[in-house]
Chain A
Amino acid sequence: EVQLVESGGGLVQPGGSLRLACAASGFTFSNSGMSWVRQAPGKGLEWVSYIGTSSTTTYYSDSVRGRITISRDNAKESVYLQMNSLRAEDTAVYYCAKYYSGMGSFDYWGQGTLVTVSS
């Protein structure tokens, strides 16, 4: 059974930093691209970042580029999201999602972790 479990969310002040983690199991992690997708309270889904299987390929949305870094550790079957210079508009539930290779979609999602940016 595929499982994605996010952690690391919480309350942080504007300008602060946070590191999210996503632990994967139930599939060959090293063969799968991974992404983070967020959802602000009461709003729709917004793609944030993607990392390829060997970390050489990373993509970011315009809204987070330069402030957020995605990384992965295939030995630990985990993907991370380092978020710096956080703003109120970064407040959201952050979902880890497994990329459905070659299909342009995400076939498995974690339950999400809430990040709140507020003073």
Chain B
Amino acid sequence: EVVLTQSPGTLSLSPGERATLSCRASQSVTSNYIAWYQQKLGQAPRLLIYGASSRATGIPDRFSGSGSGTDFTLTISRLEPEDFAVYYCQHYGNSRWTFGQGTKVEIK
């Protein structure tokens, strides 16, 4: 089973700053099946990125995904007030889905 490790656990930044979130897989994975989600307190997750780098419908272009092999990154180019939330990476393979433990982006 692929284990996803996200870092850092918490990212303290100010609005307008750039956020870089990391997701490392325990073994090399196909980037086709790496996704990123945003979850705000009390809400359901929202798909941001699929296929490691494709933005989901309606997602602003300040969100971008990259990576391959075992290392994947979600970048938020300029943080807006509504971007402060928890972010999860996710992988699909061998008939199972796994999530990272999450990175909280908080206001500094």
Residues of A within 8 A of B (CB): 35, 37, 44-47, 50, 59, 61, 95, 100, 103-112
CB distance from B57 to the nearest CB of A (A): 8
Measured between alpha carbons, how far is A61 from B39 in the docked complex, in Å? 22
Q: Are B47 and A100 in contact (CB under 8 A)?
A: yes
Given A45-B88, A47-B96, A105-B35, verify A100-B50 contact (CB < 8 Å): yes
Residues of B within 8 A of A (CB): 32-35, 37, 39, 43-47, 50-51, 56-57, 88, 90-93, 95-102
Given A44-B100, A50-B97, A95-B45, verify A104-B88 contact (CB < 8 Å): no
Measured between alpha carbons, how far is A107 from B47 in the docked complex, in Å? 6
How many residue pairs, one in A and one in B, have C-beta atoms under 8 Å apart? 65
- Measured CB to CB, the nearest residue on chain A to B48 is A105
Measured between alpha carbons, how far is A45 from B91 in the docked complex, in Å? 12
B-side contacts of A110, CB under 8 Å: 44
Q: Are A111 and B44 in contact (CB under 8 A)?
A: yes
Q: Are A44 and B50 in contact (CB under 8 A)?
A: no
CB distance from A35 to the nearest CB of B (A): 7
B contact patch SS: strand
Contacts A45-B39, A50-B97, A104-B91 known; 10 new A-B pairs at CB < 8 A: A44-B88, A44-B99, A45-B45, A59-B96, A103-B51, A104-B33, A105-B35, A106-B47, A109-B44, A109-B46
Which 9 pairs, one residue from A and one from B, show the smallest C-beta to C-beta distance? A104-B92, A104-B33, A105-B35, A47-B97, A109-B44, A45-B99, A105-B50, A59-B95, A103-B50
Q: Are A44 and B47 in contact (CB under 8 A)?
A: no
Measured between alpha carbons, how far is A104 from B44 in the docked complex, in Å? 18
CB distance from B103 to the nearest CB of A (A): 10
A-side contacts of B100, CB under 8 Å: 44
CB distance from B44 to the nearest CB of A (A): 4
B-side contacts of A61, CB under 8 Å: 96
- Measured CB to CB, the nearest residue on chain A to B6 is A44
- Measured CB to CB, the nearest residue on chain A to B44 is A109
B-side contacts of A46, CB under 8 Å: 99
Q: Are A35 and B44 in contact (CB under 8 A)?
A: no
A-side contacts of B39, CB under 8 Å: 45
